[in-house]
Structure 1
Amino acid sequence: MRSDREEVPAPFTKEDADRAEIAEARLRTSRAATACQVYWPSWFNVCGEIKAKYDSLGGPGSFLSYPSSGNIVNPGNTGERVTFLNGPIYWSAAGGAHPVVNSFLNRWGILGYEGSYLKYPTTDEIVLPDGGRRQEFQDGAIYVSFQNAIGSAIQNGPLRDKYNSVGGLTPGSSFLGYLTEDHKRTLPDGQGQMARFQNGVIYYSPATGAYPVTGDLLTRWTWSGYEQGSWGYPTGDATTTAGNSSQQFQYGLMSWPYTNAAAVVDDGDLEPIFVDGRTPTTDQDYATDALDGQNPADGFRAISNGGGFSTGSCESTLTCVEGGDPEEPIVDAPAPSILAPEDCFADTSTNLGVWFATRKQACLLTETAGYTVKLPQDPTKVVGRIPASGYSSITTSHLSGKFVQEVKLSFGQHTGRVGIARLNYQVFGDHAEDGEVEVESDFESGSVLYSNTTVTFKIKWNFEGVPQGQIDSRQNNFRYWFTNDDSQIFSPSSDGKFDADIVRCDNTMRTSGGQYRQGCVIAGHPASWAMNEYGDIDEAAGHVLAAQGVGLPGGSLDSMLQRTTNVASRNDNRNQACPRGNQKADKRREGVPTRSCDEYPFASTIQGAAGKDGNGRSFNPECHVPDLLNPGTGYSVCMIDNSENLRAGGQLGGFYGRNRVVHQDSYWVDPVSGNLPPVP
């Protein structure tokens, strides 16, 4: 036998080789001799188009190596496959025979092989100019790159057509880059689709078509909730003029950067309001600023997708940061402080590890901050414990690009075998590498942690380098873990982390002297204006209440307004709702010379009156607007006391400034009280 003369390569045995030699002999006398072949020492017959493909690749000397099966008919008789030591070749009448290996095979298998939406391969791997690879299938493709070695799939159709039109066949030269996750073929509305790439996304719906969204426009759209947010789907490609990018969406034109978003509110004939005031330096300063401009009725709310408290995996360690024994008393939470007021924790006790925030302050509480010890002899049994609870708070100011974080951990009585435990910590995040962070604490990292100890860290995030006219979202983190001097106790432990992705700083507003001034807020908490809080703009607030009462937007979190700082847009809004110097304006002022025109939604909002000709309304006879007699749903107009109108506009500007309501920022109006003007 041949196996007696030649070495049999692994993983085959002499028995395999002898069986292969017998199969070869039988095949030579078979009618299938020309269509099939046995590749000694593998004893499987490989036939047809798959054999031809295998031979063209180099047979056993190719990357596939030897056959590990014969031809297998796939479910539904849709095609065939042969497996080899390093991957299969698949054949279909529509696609021909092609190997699918490595990351391509893994991704295709996850999706369901030929039964998936991709169906059968139609090409071998295609090596791209930058070293990435692509493989085409009947109804899509899989991309593999250095940045995404596990591969991602995209289905053929309008979305992929758009990708191909912007360089998708050679992603290294496309502004979008490679796919980073599988094509989402169904979005929550049941209509749309999306694909995510290294440098952006493409969204598609039958009503709007397929368009990419990238860069800062994507950031802005992300904040709004993508297609489910206030903008809807993109309806056109982005354009850039003089450094300003714009893109049309279903419900508005989004622009970036925020051009000249000064805190001078020109919402009609209004007095200018600027971001003036002392720069905060003390904890009390920050706490005071956090309350300045806050709606008293709009308290702390949970922030979704803003980070929180988390603990590392304990699977590979015998010492962990984790919760205590539920049968033991819980360590009392650390006492509130000026940077973590008591009302911030009103709801956190039942929502542990989640950020709760107002517009300029946030906090979270955790009871899973302690230290547990297990020994190698019995890793299922806790032999020592340091119970703990803790909180973190973040306080920002509309008058500074700096903000303050406080972390406080309260540790209880050590029980059992905890050795000599040492508490270690690390602060990291955006701009921390620039040296723009200070940590103040009496506790040095790596110090011994004794029973019944409360440790406080005050972290000052001091970066103020946001370019003029720009915004900067911040991510900041506090991490801690335990080491131990006892050599029998595993060290280091898993970690606990306070992660915050909630702060947004901007440099878009100016002082009254014209200088740009930075400020920061908790962007995930949309601001709300307690209109008429001081009872001095009763008619303006009454108009807003009436307009919201008939369905105009802006009265709740579910129906918010978006600010615009575009002068032309504000003028268009104002000219539609409150024209000047024409017969319509004269008729409105006839008999009410001390009144002026007030519009809602405000001219400084994207929801303003522009483009809504014929869809306005009023509340007559109180409002004295004779040209608007039908109950339109686009905007509302009312002639109110002129001094109140000016004062209301000034207060709106103050609200914008104190809450850093920048261009395209969402907010809502919550009138405390108000009444329509008296009937003339």
Structure 2
Amino acid sequence: MPGAPVTRARRGDSAADTSPGSRHASAAGTDTAKSGIRIDSYERAGKFTSSSPLTIQVRCRDLDVGCTTDIGEITHELGDWPDQGWVDWNMHSDEAASPQAPEKVLRNNFGLVGYAYDDAGIYVELDGKSQPNFRCDSAGYFATPACVFTDVIPRLNYVYGDNYDEVVDHIRRAQNNPDVTHPPKPGKVIPGKYPPTDLDSGLYRVEYEGSTWRKNRGAKNTACATLPPPQKGQDCDEYPIASTKQGAGFGDGNFSVEYLDEGHNRRAGGKLPGYYSWDRILYWDNATKPPLDQFRVKAGQPTRVSGPRHVGLRTRLPPA
């Protein structure tokens, strides 16, 4: 018998991977997330045979506001299910049902339900225990609206071997040995490390060239001016990143600046726009409780590239 539904996309492991995710057209003004199930084998018990009918459906569960699925029940004889391959459902989340603005965020979840009849006509109900969560948004600062799975921690990966090793070294020092970083501060704890050390040490994205970003850049430049003069071809790098709420301008002194090779610094910075879009990192907003998104930074060993947490695009189609 089948277990929980299998979701075939998740948050990414690579900031460098900006290939497109699964795209699923939906009705105007809706979000779409995709779930699939595949039955490779089964075991029979009692009076079940290979010709016993098995019916399966994916449904929106506890968080069901604005959430619908595109197709209903699917029935095959038990022996025929392994021949079906992946069977997919699209979950739609209507942006008009969202009370949040301007991103029009909705959070939903879904689960697998079904039933079967044995050859004696006895009804057996199935109810998958797993209920994966997904979030859809229509944030105007992304090229297209989309949905993401939210049961894993989003993380930006900086790995050795991508021609920004000096940035990787700087982030690792800041996260793991902040007492040796500049500017000095007793008891400095710099946030954002992956894997997390506590529930409140993630980073929140802010608008590029917005007021918080400008404040961070000003504080960073002030701190850089107290370092020994740079060598030719060096930039002053900061961590946490200027486009985060916890940057140098946050005011708690928990940041680091360091002169690095300018090519390394700029290549690492060039990864950010693609990562923010790929993992759908929304802007921090003081009025939204809890904040919409939190991400972390993993610096070090090369990381296997896998799929994103991106699960679909919200596409607005012309009226029929």
TM-score by length of 2: 0.64
Q: 1:638 deviation in Å?
A: 0.8
Give the Cα separation in 1 of the matches to 2:119 and 2:237: 72
Aligned to 2:103, the other structure's residue is in SS state: coil
Q: 1:399 deviation in Å?
A: 6.5
Amino acid at match of 2:191: P
- Please tell me whether residue 670 in structure 1 is matched to residue 298 in structure 2: yes
Aligned to 1:525, the other structure's residue is in SS state: coil
Would you say the 8 A contact 1:596–1:639 is kept in 2?
A: yes
Give the Cα separation in 1 of the matches to 2:48 and 2:169: 65
Q: 1:531 deviation in Å?
A: 0.6
| Pairing partner for 1:494 from 105, 125, 128 | 125
What is the CA deviation profile of residues 298-337 of structure 1, one whole-angstrom value per residue up to 9, with x for unaligned ones? xxxxxxxxxx849xxxxxxxxxxxxxxxxxxxxxxxxx9x
Aligned partner of 1:573 in structure 2 is 216
Would you say the 8 A contact 1:601–1:636 is kept in 2?
A: yes
Aligned partner of 1:556 in structure 2 is 194
What is the CA deviation profile of residues 57-110 of structure 1, one whole-angstrom value per residue up to 9, with x for unaligned ones? xxxxxxxxxxxxxxxxxxxxxxxxxxxxxxxxxxxxxxxxxxxxxxxxxxxxxx
Aligned partner of 1:638 in structure 2 is 258
Please tell me the root mean square deviation across aligned C-alpha atoms, in Å.
Answer: 3.9
Would you say the 8 A contact 1:504–1:523 is kept in 2?
A: yes
Aligned to 2:151, the other structure's residue is in SS state: coil
Aligned partner of 1:661 in structure 2 is 281
Q: 1:405 deviation in Å?
A: 1.5
Give the Cα separation in 1 of the matches to 2:161 and 2:140: 25
Aligned to 1:417, the other structure's residue is in SS state: coil
What is the CA deviation profile of residues 645-668 of structure 1, one whole-angstrom value per residue up to 9, with x for unaligned ones? 222111122222212222342222
Q: Which runs of 5+ in 1 are unaligned?
A: 1-307, 311-335, 341-356, 362-395, 616-633, 675-680
Aligned to 2:139, the other structure's residue is in SS state: strand
Would you say the 8 A contact 2:48–2:119 is kept in 1?
A: no
| Pairing partner for 1:602 from 241, 244, 248 | 241
| Pairing partner for 1:536 from 146, 150, 163 | 163
Listed as ranges, the matches of 1:187-226 within 5 Å are none
Give the Cα separation in 1 of the matches to 2:92 and 2:132: 16
Amino acid at match of 2:37: V
What is the CA deviation profile of residues 116-149 of structure 1, one whole-angstrom value per residue up to 9, with x for unaligned ones? xxxxxxxxxxxxxxxxxxxxxxxxxxxxxxxxxx
Listed as ranges, the matches of 1:340-489 within 5 Å are 358-359=10-11, 397=21, 401-410=31-40, 412=42, 414=44, 416-418=46-48, 421-429=52-60, 430=64, 437-438=70-71, 444-445=74-75, 447-450=76-79, 456=85, 458-461=87-90, 463=92, 465-466=94-95, 469-484=103-118, 486=120, 489=121
Q: After alignment, is 501-510 or 449-458 more displaced?
A: 449-458
Would you say the 8 A contact 1:399–1:519 is kept in 2?
A: no
Q: Which runs of 5+ in 2 are unaligned?
A: 14-19, 25-30, 97-101, 179-189, 285-292, 303-320
Q: 1:457 deviation in Å?
A: 5.2
Amino acid at match of 1:505: C
Q: 1:544 deviation in Å?
A: 1.0
Amino acid at match of 2:175: Q
Give the Cα separation in 1 of the matches to 2:299 and 2:264: 14
Give the structure with higher Rg (CA).
1
Would you say the 8 A contact 2:93–2:106 is kept in 1?
A: no
Q: 1:539 deviation in Å?
A: 1.8
Question: Structure 2 vs 1, CA of residues 593 and 473 (structure 1 numbering), >3 Å: closer, same or farther?
Answer: same
Aligned partner of 2:309 in structure 1 is none
The size of the alignment, in residue pairs, is 255
Would you say the 8 A contact 2:36–2:87 is kept in 1?
A: yes
Q: 1:570 deviation in Å?
A: 2.0
Aligned partner of 1:230 in structure 2 is none
Would you say the 8 A contact 1:561–1:606 is kept in 2?
A: no
Question: Structure 2 vs 1, CA of residues 585 and 399 (structure 1 numbering), >3 Å: closer, same or farther?
Answer: farther
Would you say the 8 A contact 1:555–1:670 is kept in 2?
A: yes
| Pairing partner for 1:526 from 147, 153, 162 | 153
Question: Structure 2 vs 1, CA of residues 415 and 562 (structure 1 numbering), >3 Å: closer, same or farther?
Answer: closer
Give the Cα separation in 2 of the matches to 1:609 and 1:499: 41
Give the Cα separation in 1 of the matches to 2:81 and 2:148: 35
Amino acid at match of 2:21: S
Q: 1:433 deviation in Å?
A: 6.8
Listed as ranges, the matches of 1:72-221 within 5 Å are none
Bigger relative contact order, structure 1 or 2 (CA pairs below 8 A, ≥6 apart): 2
Would you say the 8 A contact 1:398–1:659 is kept in 2?
A: no
Would you say the 8 A contact 1:360–1:522 is kept in 2?
A: no
Question: Structure 2 vs 1, CA of residues 418 and 565 (structure 1 numbering), >3 Å: closer, same or farther?
Answer: same
Q: 1:521 deviation in Å?
A: 2.4
Aligned to 2:95, the other structure's residue is in SS state: coil
What is the CA deviation profile of residues 193-249 of structure 1, one whole-angstrom value per residue up to 9, with x for unaligned ones? xxxxxxxxxxxxxxxxxxxxxxxxxxxxxxxxxxxxxxxxxxxxxxxxxxxxxxxxx
Give the Cα separation in 2 of the matches to 1:451 and 1:360: 34
Question: Structure 2 vs 1, CA of residues 668 and 437 (structure 1 numbering), >3 Å: closer, same or farther?
Answer: same
Give the Cα separation in 2 of the matches to 1:571 and 1:462: 40
Question: Structure 2 vs 1, CA of residues 462 and 638 (structure 1 numbering), >3 Å: closer, same or farther?
Answer: same
Amino acid at match of 1:437: D
Question: Structure 2 vs 1, CA of residues 653 and 402 (structure 1 numbering), >3 Å: closer, same or farther?
Answer: same
Question: Structure 2 vs 1, CA of residues 398 and 586 (structure 1 numbering), >3 Å: closer, same or farther?
Answer: farther
Question: Structure 2 vs 1, CA of residues 398 and 594 (structure 1 numbering), >3 Å: closer, same or farther?
Answer: farther
Give the Cα separation in 2 of the matches to 1:647 and 1:553: 22
Question: Structure 2 vs 1, CA of residues 398 and 549 (structure 1 numbering), >3 Å: closer, same or farther?
Answer: farther
Q: 1:549 deviation in Å?
A: 2.2
Amino acid at match of 1:421: S
Q: 1:598 deviation in Å?
A: 1.3
Looking at secondary structure, tell me which structure has more strand per residue: 1
What is the CA deviation profile of residues 538-594 of structure 1, one whole-angstrom value per residue up to 9, with x for unaligned ones? 222221111112242222232343222242222222221224xxxx76665845353
Question: Structure 2 vs 1, CA of residues 596 and 410 (structure 1 numbering), >3 Å: closer, same or farther?
Answer: closer
Would you say the 8 A contact 2:111–2:130 is kept in 1?
A: yes
